[in-house]
Amino acid sequence: MSRALFIIDVQNDFTEGGALGVDGGAAVAADTTRYLERAFGDYDVVMASRDWHDPEGDNGGHFAQAGTDPDYVVTWPPHCVAGTAGAEYHPGLDLSHVTMHVKKGQGEPAYSIYDGEVEGGASDGATVSAVLEERGITEVDVVGIATDYCVRASVLDAIEHGRHVRVFTDLVAGVARESSDAALLEMGHAGAVLVASDAD
Ligand SMILES: [Zn+2]
């Protein structure tokens, strides 16, 4: 049995004070760091993703057009623009146990880590799916931001790809309470195990 950890989009723009700051985002960074300190040995791959958008254009309709309000469902204020501080990992997330970095969203909406590409190292340019296949990963644990968007999409994709998925409910944060609760229910119905990170 081989296990991967997905750390979804723990970035400055998705934490308090960022362009799309989520309440509890900084706590997810700090608590994930503490979790990794004790649990990194359980993982064959620790994969962290970043939303990483082009500075020009609307990234395939993902950014609201200038002069129009985002709907916060399909269109969003500009966020995680490549090369800006907002796109960087939150400083509370210790990256020393992260073994693979994934960037997603260049020029298009990309909620799921499966839409991204590995950057750097021996797997540079590979898809997440290819890396998990090659390494025989059957189990995936998921933490990060936001519960109701990129965590949700990544979890559903991992299940669709045949992985057993756990979501650590104490290590995720969402845009809104109602949609986060609905997303957790949906992930559970799809087959994800919803559990606290210190459950075992
Ligand atoms: Zn985005």
Residue 128 belongs to a domain with what CATH number?
A: 3.40.50.850
Which domain range does residue 104 map to? 2-141+154-172
pLDDT by residue for the chain (200 residues), tens digit each?
A: 899 999 999 999 999 999 999 999 999 999 999 999 999 999 999 999 999 999 999 999 999 998 899 999 899 999 999 999 999 999 999 999 999 999 999 999 999 999 999 999 999 999 999 999 999 999 999 999 999 999 999 999 999 999 999 999 999 999 999 999 999 999 999 999 999 999 86
Q: Is residue 197 in some structural domain?
A: no
Distance 41 CA to ligand 1 centre (A): 31
Q: Is residue 191 in some structural domain?
A: no
Q: Is residue 57 in some structural domain?
A: yes
Distance 48 CA to ligand 1 centre (A): 15
Q: Is residue 77 in some structural domain?
A: yes
Q: Is residue 107 in some structural domain?
A: yes
Q: What pLDDT is stored for residue 98 in this prediction?
A: 97
Q: Is residue 196 in some structural domain?
A: no
Q: Is residue 41 in some structural domain?
A: yes
Give the predicted TM-score (pTM) of the model: 0.97
Q: Which residues participate in catalysis according to the annotation?
A: 9, 104, 150
Q: What pLDDT is stored for residue 200 in this prediction?
A: 66
Q: What pLDDT is stored for residue 199 in this prediction?
A: 82
Distance 75 CA to ligand 1 centre (A): 9
Map the chain to HEC letters. Answer: CEEEEEEECCEHHHCCCCCCCCCCHHHHHHHHHHHHHHHHHHCCEEEEEEECECCCCCCCCCECCCCCCCCCCCCECCCCECCCHHHCECCCCCCCCCCEEEEECCCCCCCCHHHCEEECCCCCCCEHHHHHHHCCEEEEEEEEECHHHHHHHHHHHHHHCCCEEEEEEEEEECCCHHHHHHHHHHHHHHCCEEECCCCC
**How many structural domains are present in the chain?**
1
Q: Is residue 51 in some structural domain?
A: yes
